[in-house]
Amino acid sequence: METKYNYVKNHIKSKILQGFFQPHQKVGSENNLIQEYNVSRHTVRKAIDELVNEGWIYKKQGAGTFCADRTAPKSSREQRNKNIAVITTYFSDYIFPTIIRGAESFLSENGYQVTVFSTNNDIEQERRCLEAVLSQQFDGVIIEPTKSALPNPNINYYLNFERMGIPYVMIHAYYEELEPVHIIMDDVEGGRIQTKHLLDLGHEHILGFFKNDDIQGIKRMKGFIKAHRECGVSLSPQNIVTYTTETKNALPTQMLEEKLKGGNELPTAIVCYNDQLAIQLLDVLRKMKLAVPKDISIVGYDDSSLSVASEVKLTTVKHPQEEMGIEAAQLIKQIIEKKENSLQEPIIKPVIFNPELIIRSSTGKTGIKEVN
């Protein structure tokens, strides 16, 4: 894959998949490409030959090289099974398997097959997934956006889905500019009730840990701030810790240790972006010999299996998980079937799940004031 002609080939293919070229539009002459990629004519021709062979482009002597028309020849589509691609950030971790299971079980019951991809929340890997899906013949895509809070360079691929008539629904988050059908939680509300619960219990120094490279984290942080404002409790900016996919393993635990050592104004409660983080932070609390919830309260998010795995049963926010997967599957099925029958793009409403707090034993009233 590291040969020059392969690089040229893949680069051109990417452009096609991103919709840079309309069918029958000129891809550029051999001379153009020679200059663009700074390679020999032979190399360009080798790349182009393969693309022609795979049906992406066609050539006409004396005229030029053109983008092929890949709009599927509808025929013989009926008999084959329907295929749905599911692209999520993670695959094996945490709540994602459950979401995927929801989609898989519903779709397989309805005669669809599910092919899975994961991006590891990495833009480059997302691009590869999107290219793979566009290169194949999928009838629909369920996708969780990667790094949804950051500008996404792969937007073009999504636009190309629309151009090629492949319906998709987004879960967990969505890119505003695309206005896709989406299935999300009300994450602001989720963050709000996490925090409100602690404020109601009398906590006033609450640490908030939020992941800020996806929209969910940003929104939950918004809810965290909103709750403080509603309850009239002032919030120091130093009480908010943000981290990213790349720093998630070390940064939050390290920050918590620092915050707990810094003598004055010790926090009495922690709001976590998710259960996974809460479990990580619980280990820090154990190490520092702090009892939960007597010395410090902690709230998770997602109600994953981790929330009840340890001796501390986490107070957390319910995430629909399997239900979200099923809902996404139902939506994509509806869209596909409507499209088949009526040819016009149906209007489908997004789904927004309302969060719900599950109170377990990791939160309690602040005891500090009574003790003093």
Partner DNA sequence: TCCGATTTGTTCGTATGTATG
Partner DNA sequence: GCATACATACGAACAAATCGG
By CB under 7 A, name the binding residues for DNA.
3-6, 29-32, 39-43, 45-46, 59-65
Minimum distance of a second copy from residue 117's CB (angstroms): 7
Minimum distance of a second copy from residue 43's CB (angstroms): 14
Helix (H, G, I), strand (E, B) or coil at 60: strand
Minimum distance of DNA from residue 64's CB (angstroms): 4
Q: Could you tell me how many residues of this chain bind a second copy (CB under 8 A)? A: 38
Could you give the CA distance from residue 70 to residue 56 in angstroms, rounded to a whole number?
Answer: 7
- The four Cα atoms 103, 104, 106, 107 give a dihedral, to 10 degrees, of 100
Q: CB-wise, 30 or 295, nearer to DNA?
A: 30
As given in the structure block, the two tokens for residue 364 are 């309690």
Q: CB-wise, 14 or 113, nearer to a second copy?
A: 113
Q: What is the DSSP letter of 355?
A: P
Give the binding range for a second copy (CB under 8 A) out of 60-68, 143-151, 307-315, 364-372.
307-315
Minimum distance of a second copy from residue 334's CB (angstroms): 19
Q: Which does 113 bind (CB under 5 to 8 A by kind): a second copy, DNA, none?
A: a second copy
Minimum distance of a second copy from residue 70's CB (angstroms): 13
Give the binding range for a second copy (CB under 8 A) out of 30-38, 97-105, 241-249, 349-357.
97-105
- Asked if residue 100 binds a second copy (CB under 8 A), the reply is yes
Among candidate residues 145, 146, 180, the one with its CA nearest the CA of residue 161? 180
- Asked if residue 124 binds a second copy (CB under 8 A), the reply is no
- Asked if residue 249 binds a second copy (CB under 8 A), the reply is no
- CB-neighbour burial class of residue 334 (10 A; exposed 0-12, middle 13-18, buried 19+): middle
| Residue showing tokens 């971790």 | 93
- Asked if residue 329 binds a second copy (CB under 8 A), the reply is no
Q: CB-wise, 118 or 239, nearer to a second copy?
A: 118
Minimum distance of a second copy from residue 238's CB (angstroms): 29
Residues whose CB falls within 8 Å of the CB of residue 61, separated by 6 or more in sequence, listed in order? none
Q: CB-wise, 139 or 322, nearer to a second copy?
A: 322
Q: CB-wise, 60 or 80, nearer to DNA?
A: 60
- Asked if residue 96 binds a second copy (CB under 8 A), the reply is yes
As given in the structure block, the two tokens for residue 79 are 């008999």
Q: Is the dihedral of CA 203, 206, 210, 216 positive or negative?
A: positive
**Counting every residue, how long is the chain?**
372
Minimum distance of a second copy from residue 277's CB (angstroms): 13
What string of DSSP letters covers 282-336? HHHHHHTT--TTTT-EEE-SB--GGGGTSSSPPBEEB--THHHHHHHHHHHHHHH
Q: Which parts of the chain are beta strand (E)?
A: 57-60, 64-67, 82-88, 112-118, 140-143, 168-171, 181-185, 206-211, 240-243, 269-272, 297-299, 316-317, 351-353, 357-358
Minimum distance of DNA from residue 194's CB (angstroms): 43
Q: CB-wise, 11 or 41, nearer to DNA?
A: 41
Neighbours of 290 (CB within 10 A): 16
Could you give the CA distance from residue 43 to residue 173 in angstroms, rounded to a whole number?
Answer: 42
Amino acid identity of residue 62, one-letter, is G
- Asked if residue 360 binds a second copy (CB under 8 A), the reply is no
Residues 101-120 that bind a second copy (CB under 8 A): 101, 104-105, 108, 113-118
Residues that bind a second copy (CB under 8 A): 53-55, 79-81, 83, 91-93, 96-98, 100-101, 104-105, 108, 113-118, 128-129, 132, 135-136, 279, 286, 305-306, 309-312, 322
